[in-house]
Amino acid sequence: MKRTRRKELEDLSAYLDEESTIAPDVLQSMLRDDAELSTRHAQWAKISQAMRTMPETEVHPAFRTRTMAAIREIEPAPKTLPWRWPALGGAVLAACALAVVYLSNSSAPSLSNEPAPDMADASAVETVLTARLDASTNYISELELEYGVDVWEVDDSALEKDPTMDLVPPESVSELSELLALFESAVTDDQEVGAIVDSVDAPTALELRSLMLAYADEELYL
Amino acid sequence: MRSVTDWELIEQAKSGQIDAFDHLVRRYEAPTINFCLRMVGRREDAEELAQETFVRVYRHLNRLEPRAKFSTVLFGIARNLSLNHIRNQKRRGRDMTTSLSNQEGDEMPVLDDSQRPDQAAHIDELRELIEKALAMLNTDHREVLVLREMQGLDYSAIGEIIGCRPGTVKSRIARAREQLRLRVLELGGDVL
């Protein structure tokens, strides 16, 4: 079966990194028979060689002095934070319970002809999302309390423009929903998450960023 | 004499020996600054990010377990901080457009004594173009190339850092290499 060009290039690249799973003689014959591939391989190899032999940037001794001075001022976090998980777990459970209640209400046949309350316009996803946002916001505040500092640096330029913003506007909920889905399925795909963060309005972006960092922190340290 | 491993230093730091952490900082300061520098493009920012990386490692010292290489944990944190920094810069309308080689205070590649002057000059020129071309790549491509070519990490370690399977790393590196090659050709013509 003929291999696609993309596969050939990937194998060739892996071959340069000594990570190829293809037999070397197969790759050698590919290079012999395909002049374009051979040129590309030679250019890749040249670039690779130049990059691998780039001298490391010299580090000024002041860097370590500064870093160690900053480190001496902090205490390492304890191994476990027993209060944090129940709090977070409780918030998630509450959100799930809300969703179940809401779903069962919205799917049950109505016994009266009264119009549904306004709340019914919102989807169950939005309800869960709102609850999760609250939970996350609390969680972030708890982290800040725990460390006594901002665990992450919040981009406050948006706040300067609109000091009244402190709530996520309802129209942003679907964007948040999309982002949270991304967190759960591919939390580390930052490029994708970044694209969404860049596409939403400033208040939403702030919320998203906080959520993202909370998730990233968990991913890294647990 | 066997040198102390990273995780042994972490254990010593956990027990309160701050000198052990100082040793770790000394061991990894250059690779961490280099990685951040290639990611964000400004020496000053890179040093701040590298410092924050070590601070975060220390802050979470007691939760670190030797499940992976220490360098994987370190670069993972440095990468996340760099990505956040890049997002902030984008939001503030600043982008990584300045080439590293154009900044004052950056070291130019050191000549290898074994190279003939014309060869050395050629490699210098190529490295300069590579620095410029790297800055033009998107973050996804730049980070895998830096981790692979400059930090020497294998596909599996890169996958742990960026949260992808080794197969994804393999295809991303191939695409990144090709993008870099095209940029170098655009910038330098016949240098390749």
Is B149 within 8 Å of A52 when comparing Cβ atoms?
Answer: yes
Given this model, what pLDDT does residue A74 score? 85
Extract the residue ranges of chain B whose pLDDT is less than 70. 1, 94-119, 189
Residues 81-140 in A contacting B (C-alpha not used; CB under 8 Å): none
Is B61 within 8 Å of A72 when comparing Cβ atoms?
Answer: no
| pLDDT tens sequence across A95-137 | 666 666 666 655 544 444 444 444 444 444 455 455 555 544 4
Burial of A29 (0-12, 13-18, 19+ CB in 10 A): exposed
Rounded-to-integer distance, Cα A218 and Cα A92, Å: 15
A-chain residues near B126 (CB < 8 A): 46-47, 50
Whether chain B has a CB inside 8 Å of the CB on A46: the answer is yes
Q: Which residue has the higher pLDDT, A130 or A46?
A: A46
Least confident of A10-14, A47-51, A170-174, B69-73: A170-174
Q: Where are the alpha helices (DSSP H) in A108-189?
A: 124-147, 157-161, 173-186
Question: Three-class SS of residue B4?
Answer: coil
Specify the pTM: 0.61
Given this model, what pLDDT does residue A55 score? 85
Confidence of residue A180 (pLDDT cuts 50, 70, 90): low
- Distance, C-alpha A37 to centroid of its chain: 36
At position B105, the amino acid (one-letter code) is: G
Return the number of other C-beta atoms located less than 10 Å from residue A116's C-beta. 10
Confidence of residue A215 (pLDDT cuts 50, 70, 90): low
Q: Is the pLDDT of residue A194 over 70?
A: no
Is B88 within 8 Å of A43 when comparing Cβ atoms?
Answer: no
Rounded-to-integer distance, Cα A139 and Cα A148, Å: 14
Given this model, what pLDDT does residue A141 score? 44
Q: Which residue has the higher pLDDT, B1 or A29?
A: A29
Q: What is the DSSP string of A90-107?
A: HHHHHHHHHHHHHHHHHH
Q: Which of B21, B50, B130 sits opposite A51 (nearest CB)?
A: B130
The mean pLDDT of A39-45, rounded to a whole number, is 95
Is A47 within 8 Å of B181 when comparing Cβ atoms?
Answer: yes
Whether chain B has a CB inside 8 Å of the CB on A187: the answer is yes
Q: Is the pLDDT of residue A6 over 80?
A: yes
Mention every residue, 6+ apart, whose C-beta is less than 8 A from residue B123: A50, A53, B109, B115
Whether chain B has a CB inside 8 Å of the CB on A13: the answer is yes
| pLDDT tens sequence across A143-156 | 444 433 333 333 43
Given this model, what pLDDT does residue A157 score? 42
Q: Which residue has the higher pLDDT, A172 or B131?
A: B131
| pLDDT tens sequence across A52-82 | 998 888 899 999 999 999 999 887 665 554 4
Given this model, what pLDDT does residue B45 score? 95
Given this model, what pLDDT does residue B65 score? 86
Given this model, what pLDDT does residue B102 score? 42
